[in-house]
């Protein structure tokens, strides 16, 4: 399995496309340098644990924004829409695990699933948990997650048992302590808003190469223009048309690093019809030209090693 570089790719619904691990062993560990690229808005059915190895992580979810410091971590429950980027520090290095709950809980008929996993997964008032070194049980959970990440990346004989054991301990700590962390369950209106934003993101991702208007985006979720603007402001934090531009630029940045296609073709593929406009907006977002971005970040990327293939997430 080894370590992979994170580059989250989502489908038209914003749901992540990557298969994390295999059907037999549904987990993958990632090492993410957010100095090169942020992780765009997406969600997945798997659980995620993030350990901040260096710098500060800035996280946005559907309705919350917060920072996670070096040495601390984050748990994301299934289906949580989220976006990650480096904080105010010059760099941000993450170690993350994305795994299906059945790795620890087994089948839905097992006592592990019914007594411990299902209550955790179905708890809408527990979408995430910031884990701090200052809390005793948080520290135990961080240690368990770190052991799982190390076992997963090193792949020593029998590592599958070690990973499952560490994650079982981690999830039990969350289950046993979640009541002290729970917030008020989201209202029906908030839940509807979350589903609407996912529909609108789906439409944007499907049609990002086309000219888009607020009315078109709103119509995709059967809401008014004003409701569309409100949903984007409350959850994404920017107006829909600005999000469209950010999404296009994010995809362009990914292609600059992952392909050898001419920059002009990448611009058109990502929805920019004028090269001058693309170059200007890209420099505004990334502080360098597209060509300089490609050259700089390709040179700074570590080459693959035999024991840890650097693939994209």
Q: Render pLDDT for 267-278 as a digit per residue (tens, 0 to 9).
A: 999 999 899 999
43 beta partners: 15
Residue 39 binned pLDDT confidence (cut-offs 50, 70, 90): confident
Give the pLDDT confidence score for residue 144 in this predicted structure.
97
Q: Render pLDDT for 65-112 as a digit per residue (tens, 0 to 9).
A: 899 999 999 999 998 889 999 988 778 999 999 999 999 999 899 999
Please report, in angstroms and rounded to a whole number, the separation of the first and last CA atoms in the chain.
13
pLDDT at residue 6 tops 90: no
Task: Specify the long-range contacts of residues 169-174, CB closer than 8 Å, at least 24 apart.
Answer: 169/140, 169/144, 170/49, 170/141, 170/144, 170/145, 171/47, 171/101, 171/104, 171/105, 171/116, 171/117, 171/120, 172/116, 173/137, 173/140, 173/141, 173/144, 174/75, 174/120, 174/129, 174/141
Residue 52 binned pLDDT confidence (cut-offs 50, 70, 90): very high
Give the pLDDT confidence score for residue 117 in this predicted structure.
95
- Higher pLDDT: 21 or 273? It is 273
pLDDT at residue 2 tops 70: no
Mean pLDDT of 185-209: 84
Q: Render pLDDT for 135-185 as a digit per residue (tens, 0 to 9).
A: 999 999 999 999 999 999 999 999 999 999 999 999 999 999 987 765 556
Give the pLDDT confidence score for residue 15 in this predicted structure.
46
Mean pLDDT of 2-31: 62
pLDDT at residue 230 tops 50: yes
Mean pLDDT in the chain?
85
């Amino acid at each position: 399995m080894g370590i992979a570089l994170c580059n989250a790719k989502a489908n038209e619904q914003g749901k992540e496309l990557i298969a994390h691990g295999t059907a037999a062993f549904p987990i993958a560990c990632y090492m993410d340098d957010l100095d090169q690229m942020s992780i765009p808005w997406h969600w997945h059915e798997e659980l995620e644990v993030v350990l901040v190895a260096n710098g500060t992580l800035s996280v946005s979810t559907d309705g919350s924004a917060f920072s996670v410091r070096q040495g601390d971590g984050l748990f994301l429950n299934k289906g949580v829409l989220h976006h990650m980027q480096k904080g105010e520090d010059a760099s941000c290095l993450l170690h993350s695990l994305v795994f299906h709950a059945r790795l620890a809980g087994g089948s839905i008929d097992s006592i592990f699933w019914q007594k411990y996993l299902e209550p955790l997964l179905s708890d809408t008032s527990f979408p995430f948990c910031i884990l701090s070194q200052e809390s005793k049980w948080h520290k135990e959970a961080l240690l368990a997650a770190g052991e799982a990440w190390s076992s997963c990346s090193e792949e020593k004989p029998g590592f599958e048992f070690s990973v499952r054991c560490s994650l079982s301990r981690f999830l039990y700590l969350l289950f046993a302590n979640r009541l002290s962390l729970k917030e008020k369950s989201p209202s029906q209106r908030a839940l509807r808003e979350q589903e609407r934003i996912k529909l609108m993101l789906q439409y944007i991702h499907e049609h990002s190469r086309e000219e888009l208007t607020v009315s078109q985006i709103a119509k995709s979720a059967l809401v008014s223009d004003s409701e569309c603007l409100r949903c984007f402001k409350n959850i994404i934090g920017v107006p829909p048309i600005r999000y469209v531009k950010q999404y296009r630029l994010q995809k362009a940045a990914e292609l600059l690093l992952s392909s050898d296609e001419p920059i002009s073709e990448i611009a058109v593929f990502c929805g920019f019809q004028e090269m001058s406009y693309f170059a200007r907006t890209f420099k505004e977002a990334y502080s360098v030209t597209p060509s300089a971005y490609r050259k700089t970040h390709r040179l700074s990327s570590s080459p693959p090693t035999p024991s840890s293939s650097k693939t994209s997430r």
